[in-house]
């Protein structure tokens, strides 16, 4: 039986990406599940392998020629941003043509990419653009804890005006489909409110009354099991969240903060709605510990395993 082929991007060379990438590509359990190809600059990957996985026999797809001696470790750098960006583009293109079965991305630094003159808000938006996909969403998951986001990498000041009934319905359906693909035919979902106390019936903001509640009513009328909107400060406590298979979060930090507190070392970021399979770590470049050999690999290992599971089941998110 043909093994799953995973394109693993190296991430920002100045961060922990190369370190955790070579460790993953050398891990016996992961290698038994898939052929892992690291996309990135060979000199940087080789240096990471010498330091952190000396016995590994790595499969590298050469993307760029940045040398390790040119990397300012733990600093924002345009060349590093460009190298990381190029690796994601190449991996996505190979997934679209079927050369690989899924892509897994190591962390990038947004400032480094933007300093190279490339407008960049995140992997999610970049990969969706490459896939020519307008209907997509970010999901964070760890076991039965699943959170999908109505908005992601936008300023907090723009959240309320960006949230619409159509977007809430779109993301809720993507979340329901993702959970169904894991074997739950009738998942039970919960939605967070936009405002504190769910708006207090309009006295603390009207967006929940005017937009969120009508959207949820439309979803329920279509047969979806979704409750809310819940006050965000109580939705994520165990007695509430444990009743649901997935949670709809209205903006980035509303869901990311509780998720990372609960599952930082095993969380997986994935993009729903794409014609390819893409998963990622749920953390950043961790400049403060870059190239020290102490970065936690749990999130990356979980991301690779989830990508293998989805590719094996032939499910396209």
Least confident of 217-221, 245-249, 263-267: 263-267
Q: Are residues 127 and 176 in the same domain?
A: no
Residues in the chain: 317
Model confidence band, residue 317 (pLDDT cutoffs 50, 70, 90):
very low
Q: What pLDDT score was predicted for residue 122?
A: 86
165 - beta bridge partners?
none
Q: Which residues contact 141 (CB under 8 A, 6 or more apart)?
A: 147, 267, 268, 270, 306
Please tell me whether residues 195 and 308 are part of one structural domain: no
What's the pLDDT at 314?
61
| Domain final residue, candidates 235, 250, 272 | 272
Which residues on neighbouring strands pair with residue 62, listed in sequence order? Answer: 40
| pLDDT for the residue 1 | 58
pLDDT at 127 over 50: yes
The Cα diameter of the chain in Å comes to 63
Site of tokens 């949670």:
247
Same structural domain, 268 and 161: yes
Domain count, the chain: 2
Confidence (pLDDT) at 287:
97
Percent of the chain clearing pLDDT 90 (strictly above) = 81
145 and 126 co-located in one domain:
no
CA pair distance 296, 53, nearest whole angstrom: 14
> What are the C-alpha distances in Å from 81 to residues 13, 76, 150?
8, 8, 27
Same domain, 280 and 268: no
Average confidence (pLDDT) over 215-243: 96
Same domain flag for 70 and 183? no
Answer yes or no: do 224 and 181 share one domain: yes
CATH number, domain containing residue 72: 3.40.718.10
> In terms of domains, do 117 and 243 share one?
no
Radius of gyration for the chain, computed over Cα atoms and rounded to the nearest angstrom: 20
Sorted by sequence, the CB contacts under 8 Å of residue 270 that are 6+ apart come out as 138, 139, 141, 178, 278, 279, 280, 303, 306, 317
Do residue 289 and residue 252 come from a single domain?
no
Instruction: Judge if 247 and 301 occupy the same domain.
Output: no
- Per-residue pLDDT at 20 exceeds 90: yes
Please state the rounded mean pLDDT for residues 8-17: 98
Q: Are residues 95 and 199 in the same domain?
A: no
Q: Specify whether 145 is located in the same domain as 248.
A: yes
Mean pLDDT, the chain, whole residue set: 93
pLDDT of residue 199: 67
Tell whether the model's pLDDT for residue 243 goes beyond 50: yes
Domain region containing 40: 1-134+274-317
Q: What is the mean pLDDT of residues 214-220?
A: 98
Residue 265: band (very low, low, confident or very high) from pLDDT cuts 50, 70, 90:
confident
Report pLDDT for 281.
93
Q: What is the 3-state secondary structure (H, E, C) of the chain?
A: CCCEEEEEECCCCCCCHHHHHHHHHHCHHHHHHEEEEEEECHHHHHHHHHHHCCCCCCEEEECCCCCHHHCCCCCCCHHHHHHHHHHHHHHHHHHHHCCCCEEEECCCCHHHHHHCCCCCCCHHHHHHHHCCCCCCEEEEEECCEEEEECCCCCCHHHHHHHCCHHHHHHHHHHHHHHHHCCCCCCCEEEEECCCHHHHHHHECECHHHHHHHHHHHHHHHCCCEEEEEECHHHHCCHHHHCCCCEEEECCHHHHHHHHHHHHCCCCEEEEECCCCCEEEECCCCCHHHCCCCCCCCHHHHHHHHHHHHHHHCCCCC
pLDDT in tens, 45-96: 999 999 999 988 999 999 999 999 999 999 999 999 999 999 999 999 999 9
Instruction: Please tell me the predicted confidence (pLDDT) of residue 69.
Output: 97
Banded pLDDT at 313 (limits 50, 70, 90): confident
């Amino acid at each position: 039986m043909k093994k799953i082929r995973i394109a693993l991007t190296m991430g920002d060379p100045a961060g922990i990406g190369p370190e955790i990438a070579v460790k993953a590509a050398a891990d016996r359990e992961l290698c038994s599940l898939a052929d892992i190809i690291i996309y990135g600059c060979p000199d940087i990957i080789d240096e990471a392998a010498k330091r952190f996985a000396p016995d590994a026999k790595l499969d590298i797809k050469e993307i760029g020629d940045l040398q390790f001696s040119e990397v300012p470790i733990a600093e924002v750098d345009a060349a590093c941003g460009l190298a990381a960006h190029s690796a994601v583009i190449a991996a996505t293109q190979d997934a679209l043509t079927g050369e690989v079965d899924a892509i897994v991305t190591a962390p990038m630094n947004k400032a480094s990419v933007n300093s190279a003159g490339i407008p960049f808000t995140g992997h999610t938006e970049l990969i969706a653009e490459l896939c020519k996909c307008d209907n997509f969403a970010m999901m964070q998951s760890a076991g039965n804890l699943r959170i999908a986001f109505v908005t992601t990498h936008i300023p907090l000041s723009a959240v309320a005006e960006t949230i619409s009934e159509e977007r809430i319905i779109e993301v809720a359906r993507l979340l329901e489909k993702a959970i169904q693909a894991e074997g739950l035919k009738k998942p039970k979902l919960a939605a967070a409110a936009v405002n504190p106390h769910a708006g207090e019936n309009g006295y603390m903001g009207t967006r929940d009354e005017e937009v969120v509640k009508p959207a949820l009513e439309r979803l329920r009328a279509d047969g979806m099991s979704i409750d809310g909107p819940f006050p965000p400060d109580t939705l994520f406590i165990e007695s509430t969240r444990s009743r649901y298979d997935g949670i709809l979060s209205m903006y980035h930090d509303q869901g990311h903060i509780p998720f990372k507190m609960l599952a930082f070392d095993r969380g997986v970021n994935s993009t729903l709605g794409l014609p390819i399979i893409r998963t990622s770590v749920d953390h950043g470049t961790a400049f403060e510990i870059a190239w020290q050999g102490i970065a936690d690999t749990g999130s990356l290992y979980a991301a690779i395993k989830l990508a293998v599971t989805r590719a094996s089941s032939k499910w396209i998110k």
